[in-house]
Amino acid sequence: MKVKHFCTAVLAACLMLFIAHGAASRQFGIPVSSSARTAAVGSAAATAAAEASAALEDAGNRPWFCRGLDCPSFEVVETRGSLQLRRYKSAGFLVTRVEADSLLQAQVIASKRLLGYLAGDNEDSVKLPPTVPLNSVLLTADKASGTVKGHFFFAIYLPEEVQGDAPRPSNLDVRLIRLHRRAFWVQTFDSPLLTESSLIARGWDLITELQHLKRKVDDRFFVFSLYEPPLPFVPHHYELAVRAKCRRHGDAPTEAVLAAGQGVDDVHGDVHAWMPSAGIESGGVSLPGDDDDDYPLPEEGGGDPADDECEDDGPELSELLASM
């Protein structure tokens, strides 16, 4: 895979997301003429407090980096330096699969599809508000060469107003999915100029670091999340995430350090075993399972056997992607 600066393509994709339905003006502000700016200065102080209060009310309990937009709900259950173990609640997402020579090319194609859905390319022709983050799922290939596979998945969180009842996509390359409760190790970072090769290297480094910490992870993919346009030399909030595997009641911790890319998946079943019950339809996927959020942490052993229900009890992201 060629080493390219893909920040331009990602910038375009994110700007498209935020511009949709006036999101860009809400988040980053709209330039005004000099006369309008002069008039605005006089009232700025009087309205600042009200605007701040409204922003906080709009944001609700969302993390600050969601900028007041709808985003996945999670809780932080462990922190190790720059790493967070997050438990995410069951939620609906919009996903598309793209085959391309580079992440740059795939990003542009995927953004058009996902934005098309939000702009009304769905069975109800309804326009929906933008959400964050824009997730790029990269499937690992070979650790030695630091590569990923030539097809990518991109996902955005469905707006709260249609969670559980989203209109079916008109584009058959776009799918509605619902992910079960799940846990991820997440690393936040910033980079003045992000390249595709440096991003892939960071993903592999994160997998290796977690395995050396004896954390059981799914090394078949990692997720790159964008919450804002990556303007060069401007501070950003980037995230890389690796899924934390779930241990069953009484399982002993894994002592052996697995080589990145060589992990043995001992909990996931064959994708064909659950496909018939997954309710897959043209343009959408509905996954079975309940939304009970009381489940053990991925690194917890012991406890009550009755509490063994966890994110691995239903179809998982990697299996779902394999079916697309």
Residue 208 pLDDT class (50, 70, 90 cuts)? very high
Region 213-230: what's the mean pLDDT? 90
Q: Is a pLDDT exceeding 60 seen at residue 281?
A: no
Mean pLDDT lowest among 4-18, 164-178, 274-288: 274-288
The two three-digit tokens of residue 113, written as one number: 């599809």
More confident position, 318 or 194: 194
**Which tokens in the block code for residue 1?**
């895979």
CA distances from 139 to 7, 35, 52, 99 (A): 20, 52, 41, 12
Give the whole-angstrom CA distance, residue 74 versus residue 188: 15
Least confident piece of the model among 4-13, 117-126, 225-234: 4-13
Least confident of 79-83, 109-113, 286-290, 302-306: 286-290
**What H or E segment, with its residue span, contains residue 151?**
strand 147-157
Q: Domain segments of the chain: what residues?
A: 7-25+59-322
Work out the pLDDT band at 290, boundaries 50, 70, 90.
very low
Average pLDDT over residues 177-184: 91
Phi, then psi, of 307 in degrees rounded to 5: -95, 15
pLDDT of residue 7: 45
C-alpha distance from residue 146 to each of 5, 67, 202, 258, 316 (Å): 17, 33, 10, 17, 25
Q: Which has the minimum average pLDDT: 175-179, 241-245, 290-294?
A: 290-294
Model confidence band, residue 11 (pLDDT cutoffs 50, 70, 90): very low
pLDDT at residue 145 is higher than 60: yes
Lowest mean pLDDT among 206-210, 273-277, 310-314: 273-277
Task: Determine which helix (DSSP H) or strand (DSSP E) holds 188, and give its type and residue range.
Answer: strand 182-189
Distance, in Å, from the CA atom of 73 to the CA atom of 313, rounded to the nearest integer, reads 20
Tokens of 135: 């997730």
pTM of the model: 0.67
| Lowest mean per-residue pLDDT among 65-74, 139-148, 290-299 | 290-299
pLDDT at position 67 is: 86
How many Cβ atoms sit within 10 Å of the Cβ of residue 91? 21
Q: What is the phi-psi region of residue 260: left when phi exceeds 0, alpha when psi lies from -120 to 50, beta otherwise?
A: beta
Cβ burial, residue 5 (10 Å; 0-12/13-18/19+): middle
Look at 262 and 58; give whichever has higher pLDDT: 58
Amino acid at 197: S
Tokens 């020579």 belong to which residue? 101
For the domain spanning 7-25+59-322, the CATH number is: 3.20.80.10
Spatial contact of 194 and 127, defined as CB atoms under 8 Å apart: no
Give yes or no for residue 19 having a pLDDT over 70: no
Average pLDDT over residues 157-171: 97
Instruction: Please give the pLDDT value at position 237.
Output: 87
String of DSSP letters for 165-188: SPPPBSSTTEEEEEE-SEEEEEEE
Taking 80 as the threshold, does the pLDDT of residue 12 lie above it? no
